[in-house]
Structure 1
Amino acid sequence: MNLLELVNVPDERRDHQWETDFFMSITQGNLKLIHEVPQKGPDGWPYLLAETSPEATEPANKIMQWLAMKGVGLVVNPRKEYPDYVFTYGMLWHFKETGLFYKTASESPVGTVEMEKGQGLHAGPPAPHYLPQYVRNILNEFFRDQNVLRPRILVMSADRKHYDLAFSLESLGNPPTKEHQGIAEAISWFLPPHYSVVLVSEIGLPKFVDLV
């Protein structure tokens, strides 16, 4: 099925295969912009709004490449009761870098690092392919808006299989525990869905590095 046929498939018939086909079709298809500038979504994040249409002429791939550099998400067919798809910013830059919007749980690290006494911890700064510089810059803009001027990060793994992107609680101003989940969820919008985000104290851990 082509893109126009896929968006007409009823919601109850949209399974993992539909999503796979949709991803393939939209990267090869065209979109029509509803607004020239990003709009604030119900979740508070900026999105470019676009729709599928026989008159659509803007290559979706080109739009996504541009959004990946701007820190903006994409909503496809927002005028429906439920949009056909909402791409977070993290999905778009991961597509730009890898050709995939995200990886499945079996292909990617999940969960958190639980350290046991005496257990070795592998840690270091994120590699450029894991967190490109332009993504770090956009994350820094987000933190500056929250008056966090020097966030510090570390990639950690207890087994070299499951990795977490850790953010230093001290660099975030030691927010109360009840706020940790909300902060982690906000950060996650900037990252692919399969990335694991944790907020931890730097005490007893290897040296964190500035996000910038």
Structure 2
Amino acid sequence: MFNLTQQPFVARDKEWESAFFQALYEGRLSIEDGTTQVGPDGWPYLFAQTIVGAKEPVRKIIDWLSEKGIGLVVNAHKQAPDYVFTYGMVWNCKERGEFISEAPEIKSGKVVFEKGKHVVAGPPSQEYLPGYVRKVLKQFFADQGIKDMKTVVVSTDSKHYDLIFSLESLGEPPQSEHRGIAEAIAWFLPSHYSIVIASEKGLPPFTHL
């Protein structure tokens, strides 16, 4: 892992990323500071280094971060960190053994559910959204003044799934704010999850997060 971090950024392709992820998952890190630090993006992170003799098993770190709702920055002391892991990447690794999971192409823009089209819908399962992640999300929404977020998972083909957050629960913000809200929520979820903000009207029943 240490050797991988010595490669120049211009030489870091998908193959490098895959090798780095695997080495990191099986390796150890040195914690820079026992306290959580706020990154430039405004989210909480634990800073760690890849040094010879590092003692903390990464899997143990991943377990701890997953319960706390914290991301991970590897070698933040450098001019540019070697990697920044969102909380969604962290708990995806805990649950699936990989930081990034392959998934069908994620739709962008406005999602439209055609009238009369067959839809499979229901509350997110514990496998899809574990209890500890729900707890972290609830705290995030509570910090924004949202005490009762409702969600539903919807699919029109049983292959592509949208995790829909209730527009009403969010206080019905204007359309211009939806993208920013979705991007904030995305930090907490794996990169292959499709996030949608929509009204509960005309959709299958939403359930409490």
Query: Is the partner of 1:178 in helix, strand or coil?
Result: helix
Aligned residue in 1 for 2:107: 111
CA distance in 1, matches of 2:135, 2:30: 29
Aligned residue in 1 for 2:82: 84
CA distance in 1, matches of 2:141, 2:114: 31
CA drift of 1:108 comes to: 3.7
CA distance in 1, matches of 2:12, 2:128: 30
CA distance in 2, matches of 1:150, 1:23: 36
| Residues matched between the structures, number | 207
Taking the TM superposition and a 5 Å limit, the aligned residue runs for 1:1-212 are 3-104=1-102, 107-108=103-104, 110-111=106-107, 113-211=111-209
CA distance in 2, matches of 1:108, 1:79: 36
Query: Is the partner of 1:83 in helix, strand or coil?
Result: coil
Q: Deviations over 1:46-93 (max 9, x none)?
A: 000001111311111211111011100000001112110101001111
CA drift of 1:8 comes to: 0.5
Query: Is the partner of 1:167 in helix, strand or coil?
Result: strand
**How does the TM-score come out when normalised to structure 2?**
0.96
CA distance in 2, matches of 1:96, 1:9: 27
Query: Is the partner of 2:6 in helix, strand or coil?
Result: coil
Structure 1 runs, 4 residues or longer, greater than 4 Å off: none
Q: Deviations over 1:163-204 (max 9, x none)?
A: 010000001100111111110000000000111100000001
Residue segments in structure 2 that go unaligned for 5+ positions in a row:
none
CA distance in 2, matches of 1:161, 1:26: 30
Maintained 8 Å contact 1:109/1:161: no
Q: Which amino acid aligns with 1:28?
A: E
CA distance in 1, matches of 2:169, 2:39: 28
Query: Is the partner of 1:7 in helix, strand or coil?
Result: helix
Percent identity over the alignment is: 53
Task: Give me the CA root mean square deviation.
Answer: 1.1
Q: Which amino acid aligns with 1:116?
A: E
CA distance in 2, matches of 1:155, 1:119: 16
CA drift of 1:109 comes to: 5.7
CA distance in 2, matches of 1:55, 1:100: 24
CA drift of 1:158 comes to: 1.1
Residue segments in structure 1 that go unaligned for 5+ positions in a row:
none
**How does the TM-score come out when normalised to structure 1?**
0.94
Query: Is the partner of 2:114 in helix, strand or coil?
Result: coil
